[in-house]
Amino acid sequence: MAFRSAVVTFPGSNCDRDMAVALELVSGTPAIRVWHGDAALPDRLDFIALPGGFSYGDYLRSGAMAARSPIMRAVIEAANRGVPVLGVCNGFQVLTESGLLPGALMRNASQHFICRTVPLVVANTQSLFTAGYDAGATIRIPVAHHDGNYFADQATLDELEGEGRVAFRYGETVNGSQRDIAGVLNRAGNVLGMMPHPERAVEPAHGGSDGRALFESVVKGLVEA
């Protein structure tokens, strides 16, 4: 059964092609490319990816305009039906701005744009996205962002931790995120937002392939489902 995935491109997205390449590499099926102005998604999707970049030039707040674009109405509706959605970097910002994930991504505490490979602890290995990792594993994935400082109120943070919804934590100080949170899941477990870029670490030529297991987890999970 072919894996039907879609990658959404907003004006200013710049990791959409990398995401599509990673999805094809792992699933063997080309990803369908979707434009922000489209009102509908392709039928029978197994997976939707919101890529990194600087959608709408980060006007107002990172991800704020993209979260209100026509295609996001369809993405929200699909996510609520249980279709898996992955948002990376700007995609994570779009997911919080759209309300699909709690919290917000603020300017890095250092004020600097951070572009380097960081250690990530896989905090939950039970999810659709992380089942392929060993419990407690530390992996190395690149980050490249200015607004990756995860913020939520204490009650929300407690709830996320209590429900196992922190998927990834930084293994070192990176951007000032509350409780070193690098990636969070929605309550149903079908939406993951993360600042690090797994699609930039899927083959040895990238300098590391620790991101590959994330995509393999999704493909395997859906084929078995």
Partner 1 sequence: MKVRVHVSLKPGVLDPQGRAIHHALEGLGFSGVNDVRAGRLIELDVDDGVSDEALDDMCRKLLANMVIENYRIEKLETA
Q: Does 61 bind partner 1 (CB under 8 A)?
A: yes
Binding of partner 1 by 68 (CB under 8 A): yes
d(CA 150, CA 203): 28
Residue that the structure tokens 């859906």 belong to: 222
Q: Which of 12, 42, 164, 176 binds partner 1 (CB under 8 A)?
A: 176
Residue in the structure block whose two tokens are 């939950």: 124
Report if residue 179 touches partner 1, rule: CB under 8 A: no
* β pairing state of 166-170 and 181-185: antiparallel
User: Please, which residue, 26 or 65, has the CB nearer to partner 1?
Assistant: 65
To 5 degrees, how large is the angle CA 149–CA 155–CA 161?
A: 70
Exposed / middle / buried, residue 199 (Cβ in 10 Å: 0-12, 13-18, 19+): buried
**Which strand (E) or helix (H) includes residue 155?**
helix 154-162
Q: Least distance from C-beta 61 to partner 1, angstroms?
A: 6
Piece in contact with partner 1 (CB under 8 A), picked from 19-27, 100-108, 161-169, 206-214: 100-108
152 lines the binding site for partner 1 (CB under 8 A): yes
Just list the catalytic residues.
89, 197, 199
Distance CA 114, CA 33 (A): 28
State the minimum distance, in angstroms, from the CB of residue 110 to partner 1.
7
Q: Return the range that interacts with partner 1 (CB under 8 A); candidates 25-33, 79-87, 147-155, 187-195.
A: 147-155
DSSP code string of 93-135: HHHHHHTSSSSEEEPPTTSS-EEEEEEEEE--SSSTTTTTSPT
Give the contact letters, 12-51, x = binds to partner 1 (CB under 8 A), - = no.
Answer: ----------------------------------------
107 touching partner 1, by CB under 8 A: yes
Question: By the criterion CB under 8 A, which residues form the site for partner 1?
Answer: 60-61, 64, 68, 96-97, 102-104, 106-111, 149, 151-153, 176
